[in-house]
Amino acid sequence: MSENQRELAPDITADTEDVIDTEEELIKQCEEMWKDMEECQNKLSLIGTETLTPSNAQLSLLFMQMKCLTAELGQWNKRTPEITHLTEDVLVTLGKEEFQKLRRDLEMVLSTIQSKNEKLKEDLEREQQWLDEQQQILETLNALHSDLKNQVVPFSESRVFNELKAKIRSIKEFKEKLLITLGEFLEDHFPLPDGNIRKKQRNIQESNVQLITLNEILEMLINRMFDVPHDPYVKIGDSFWPPYIELLLRYGIALRHPEDPSRIRLEAFHQ
């Protein structure tokens, strides 16, 4: 061992002994203060509890608190404050302890901040991903808008009017074609009865009434429905052959008036 180490060893031993002596003095002082507090508590317990009435309960409680504080103040006044002489070594030791405590606190704060930074970083990445997706959607919508804008044809009233006229004309032609086809079908499959069939119906004598075809009956019902929609019923006359009327009613093509059986109307298939 060198001479310098021999000189330092006694100094370190002396510093350690001073710290131990100071700690023992502090412990003794704490024990004496604890004994004084126990004495005060015993004195207060010997005083006993007083019965408090509702009227002066708060005043009595304040009075008891004042007694406790006065007794404690008297005990502190009897004591003479003792100043502990802190040497340089003691201050260094206490400083090291404070620095260690401060270091632990700072390390805890650093760990907390680092965890918060990680969470903020994750949030930032998620928000950045969402922003990128929104940018892609916006670019797609802008491209679609540009395409639609290029496809827009200037509006022309005359062109629209001519297109509507062409559609109406086409519909009318189709309607006429349907009516002609329907008339031919009814004429072939539902012809007017001859004279022999008329005489056999209900023993009625031959009449001069001219019967109308099923096609004419249907045309009459259709025109009545669209010309007078609030009263689409048609009166059944002598020119209506009863089997045709029965046929239309049986298959739901025509309906009778709920109050007048002699009137019928076409079923509203278009509604």
Between CA 247 and CA 255, with CA 250 as vertex, the angle to 5 degrees is 100
Residue 180: per-residue pLDDT = 87
Residue 36: per-residue pLDDT = 79
Q: How many CB atoms lie within 10 A of CB 46?
A: 7
**Are 198 and 257 found together in one domain?**
yes
H/E segment holding residue 264:
strand 263-266
CB 97 within 8 A of CB 87: no
CB 241 within 8 A of CB 211: yes
Q: Which of 119, 140, 161 is the last residue of a domain?
A: 140
CA distance 195 to 206: 8
List, for the chain, all residue ranges whose pLDDT scores fall below the cut of 50: 1-10, 12, 196-200, 202-206
Q: Which of 194, 196, 186, 250 is nearest to 217 (CA)?
A: 186
Number of domains in the chain: 3
Residue at 259 is within a domain? yes
Q: How many CB atoms lie within 10 A of CB 221?
A: 19
Residue 205: per-residue pLDDT = 44
Residue at 94 is within a domain? no
Would the pTM count as exceeding 0.85?
Answer: no
Residue 135: per-residue pLDDT = 93
Positive or negative, the CA dihedral 194, 200, 202, 208 is positive
Residue 87: per-residue pLDDT = 75
**Are 113 and 197 found together in one domain?**
no
Residue 7: per-residue pLDDT = 45
Residue 265: per-residue pLDDT = 92
Residue 138: per-residue pLDDT = 93
Residue 271: per-residue pLDDT = 67
Between CA 38 and CA 46, with CA 42 as vertex, the angle to 5 degrees is 170
For residue 115, what are the domain limits? Answer: 103-140
Positive or negative, the CA dihedral 200, 202, 204, 207 is negative
Residue at 60 is within a domain? no
Residue 127: per-residue pLDDT = 93
Residue 80: per-residue pLDDT = 67
